[in-house]
Chains A and B, each alone.
Chain A
Amino acid sequence: MKMTAQEYARRIRKAGPPSPLGVDCLWAFCVGGGICLLGEVLRGRYLAMGAEPELAGTLVSCSLIALSAVLTTLGVYQKLAAHAGAGSLVPITGFANAVVSAAIEFKSEGYVPGTGAKMFLIAGPVIVYGTLSAVLYGGILWLVQWIGLV
């Protein structure tokens, strides 16, 4: 071929239609914001029902996870996510979707080697690096306190 890899890479950037950034951001903002708003409404309800603030927060997380799991099973969450992008990926509902979708998908390979083994296929790295980050920041905090800065 007469075209070089560099020239071809330049042509690819021109040929590929760019992602509609404005529309994508608006979707992400509205859906992500909507999920957070729903969380706030639920938290208000739980507080009104007499729950302690900390318990109310936990209940909100549980409710959103359950809602996402149900919507994923019904095939609704992914349709919303196809437009919302990070708006539905970043909140806790996105994490629930990642776990539930893999659990459903690999059921055909059995409950142990399929659902059980592959449930955390996508969510696994989040847990691994989330835990690692927590250890790292915990260490820094301990060090800072030990030196006496805080």
Chain B
Amino acid sequence: MGSRQGDTLLFDTPPVIAAQAAVGGKKEGEGPLAAMFDELCGDNRCGQSSWETAEKYLMLRAARLCLKKADLPQEEVSLVLAGDLQAQCTASGYAMRELGVPFAGVFGACSTMAESLAMGAALCSAGFAPNLLAAASSHFCAAERQFRTPLSYGAVRTPTAQWTATAAGCCLLRPAGEGVRIPAAAFGRVQDLGVRDINNMGAAMAPAAAATLTCFLQDTRTQPQDYDCIYTGDLGQVGSQLFRELLAAEGLVVKNHLDCGCILFDAKQQTVKSGASGPGCCAAVLCGHILPRLLRGSQKRVLFLATGALMSQTTFLQKESIPAVAHLVELRAPEQEGSQ
């Protein structure tokens, strides 16, 4: 099983990520991380009739590719924890209609992947799930029409705005075995420092990331430099800057921080302003970039810290500030003979 230290869950026998897959859209295929995707769609419709079904397709492809890589028939999946940005998490629900396996929907906005992984690790560790899938997706076009304006409406994006990734990522978790290990996880507390600007999500989410990280480091009595890298989900350029400033105010100097939203696209070339966002952003970067690095051994121990803004279009229009949450998962390279 495991134990609890503060807000942090510590797993005695760390569950492992046995396989993973990342699927992306057109813009992701034109970015610096194009080669990391298992599959890329040439156009964002992915041959589907609507943007919503295209996102469902991305989620389903990620799950199927993940199972294929693990050589696991879908009948043996004990549970899927998945979520997305669409209202009522329809991309996940409709994708799981095709798979026909036990499914529990998860909503943590852009923090969904870390939330699914942390919950999945706990369930695996408790012996409830021998083969568990954790997945998250987002689609630029589906998100734009739901949260902002129609796609062909002419508007200027502010410099702090972020670009929702058209991507999905899926991980297969097992209680033990080969793969990247999850020795610890932490569910964050909702933070709100009064940000109301819907075009500055990084600023709204940075306090949540800083709070969860600070809490985790205290719980585990570790320092930022004990990790090869601290990956945040989608703070973007502006949010990352604020994240580091918030940590500095707590007396923490973090030099090994990298944001998935800053590396998925080339901000200048691809005109994405502050960077990428969306649950699919960090899910795909985790599956295509972070996990392969740990598997290769070029990194040994990292933190994956995904943030989510918990507002809706209604609360935004009612001029409420934007609360945010961040969930954290510690990832360690596979155990090798002679090493710890």
Chain A residues proximal to chain B, CB less than 8 Å: 1-3, 5, 8-9, 11-12, 15-19, 24, 72-73, 75, 77-78, 80-85, 88-89, 94, 97-98, 100-102, 104-106, 108, 121-122
Provide the bound-state CA to CA distance between A88 and B154, in Å.
8
Is A85 in contact with B156, judged by CB distance below 8 angstroms?
yes
Cα distance, A84 to B193, chains bound together (Å): 33
Main secondary structure on B side of the interface with A: loop
Tell me the chain B residues, 149-201 only, with Cβ under 8 Å from chain A: 149-160, 191, 193-195, 200
Q: Let me know if B153 and A97 touch, CB within 8 A.
A: yes
- CA of A8 to CA of B200 in the docked complex: distance in angstroms? 13
A113 to chain B, nearest CB (A): 14
Say whether A122 contacts B153, CB under 8 Å. yes
- Interface residues of B toward A: which range? 20 to 34
Residues in B with CB closer than 8 Å to A106 are 145, 150
Q: Is B30 an interface residue (CB 8 A)?
A: no
Q: Is the CB of A19 within 8 A of B158?
A: yes
A35 to B160, CA, bound (A): 29
In-complex Cβ contact of A78 among B49, B153, B242 (8 A): B153
Which residues does chain A contribute within 8 Å of B150, judged by CB atoms?
101-102, 104-106, 121-122
Which of B34-42, B97-105, B244-252, B326-334 binds A? B244-252
In the bound complex, do residue B152 and residue A97 qualify as a contact, i.e. CB atoms below 8 Å apart? yes
Are A80 and B154 interface neighbours, CB within 8 A? Answer: yes
Given contacts A16-B160, A78-B154, 13 further A-B pairs with CB under 8 A are A8-B195, A8-B207, A8-B246, A12-B242, A19-B158, A72-B152, A81-B156, A85-B155, A98-B153, A102-B150, A105-B151, A106-B150, A122-B150
